[in-house]
Amino acid sequence: MASIINVVTEELIVLTPLFTVGRNASLVNLHLSFGDISQSHATLLWSREGWQLRDHSRNGTLLDGEHIWQRTTRLTKNHILQFGSDAQTKWKLQDLEPPFPFLKSLNRRNHIIRLSFATALPDQVQHEAAIYFLPEKGWVYEKEGSVNALSHGHKIAFANDEWEFVSITEIEDTIDQQALVAGARLLFHLSLNEEHIRLELQLSRHQSLDLGNRSHNYLLLSLARKRYSDHLLQLPDTDQGWCTIDEITEDLSREMQKDVDVYFLNLQIFRLRKQLCEIPEIGYLFSNIIERRPGEIRLGHPYFSIIKGNHIEADITSLR
């Protein structure tokens, strides 16, 4: 998430993929009212090659003191950009990471939260809410079990603050999402006493990812068993696997031998989403592995196998 900071005022601005600077406030992202600034003075733009500066002004732009006029040049971290003669037109490049959505505090100056495909809010310790990306829905905000779609400029509240969601650009898909997800299945490897539950994401007959033995695997296993039971009853796909929040918290309480509440359940769901989203390039495609509707959740992926010891307990697969 690239940003620039003013060397005089210390104002911090996050760059969008096509970020324009100039004197005409109706045309640009960064408005500079000084007389030697052109109406549309320069553009900071993102491409696959990285960030670039394109000058299209009458007086030019200084890049580390070098005069850039009517041309494009690549940028590196810590460059100093100066668009006019006044010191307040001087900005420092903070970083040059690719553009990505973020949250901007409406009450605290220069306070932003860079989003990942699954972000706990305000952090993973004080888990009050979450934002994550679903391939079929886009960005969503989840708080207290309620899930709502996010769009650019949407206002949300958490941690005693109000925040604005800034959508940078649509995520480009370089692979056939539908075919990849449809061809994948979850493999649950259970020990005979079910003390150990190892999860595997099989993408094809020749490619699989070991997701390890995590505490949230039992939650996923419980939902898989419920979905398989409904599958055997030949319920419609849309009706398979739904469990009430009370049912699943009671199940988890019995298994973990401690009281499990809704907060703990939501934390387990988030940790599962985050683990998947951290898989490079494709993980976010499976971020909706647990689906919600009012008062209920279910395993969102329909294809899985449950293997206990050497015995196949359940199998629903379209794996090619």
Query: What does the block give as tokens for 126?
Result: 């004080």
Buried b / exposed e over 263-292, threshold 16 CB at 10 Å, is: ebbbbbbbbbbbbbbeeeebbbbbbbbbbb
Mean pLDDT, residues 18-39? 93
Q: Is the pLDDT of residue 253 over 60?
A: yes
Taking alpha carbons only, the member of 6, 303, 305 closest to residue 180 is 303
**Percentage of the residues of the chain whose pLDDT score is greater than 90:** 71
* pLDDT one-digit tens code per residue, 141-197: 999 889 999 998 999 999 899 999 998 754 444 445 667 788 899 999 999 999 999
- Rounded Cα–Cα distance for residues 55 and 70 (Å): 5
Q: Is the pLDDT of residue 91 over 70?
A: yes
Higher pLDDT, 118 or 319: 118
Q: Which long-range contacts (CB under 8 A, 24 or more apart) does 50-54 make?
A: 50/74, 50/75, 50/96, 51/2, 51/15, 51/75, 51/93, 51/96, 53/81
Least confident stretch, 26-30, 198-202, 231-235? 26-30
Higher pLDDT, 234 or 320: 234
Least confident stretch, 141-150, 167-176, 248-257, 260-269? 167-176
pLDDT at 174: 40
- Domains annotated for the chain, with CATH where assigned, are 3-95 (2.60.200.20), 102-166 (no CATH), 177-316 (no CATH)
pLDDT at 16: 87
- For the four alpha carbons of 270, 274, 277 and 279, in that order, the dihedral sign comes to negative
Query: What does the block give as tokens for 174?
Result: 């370089």
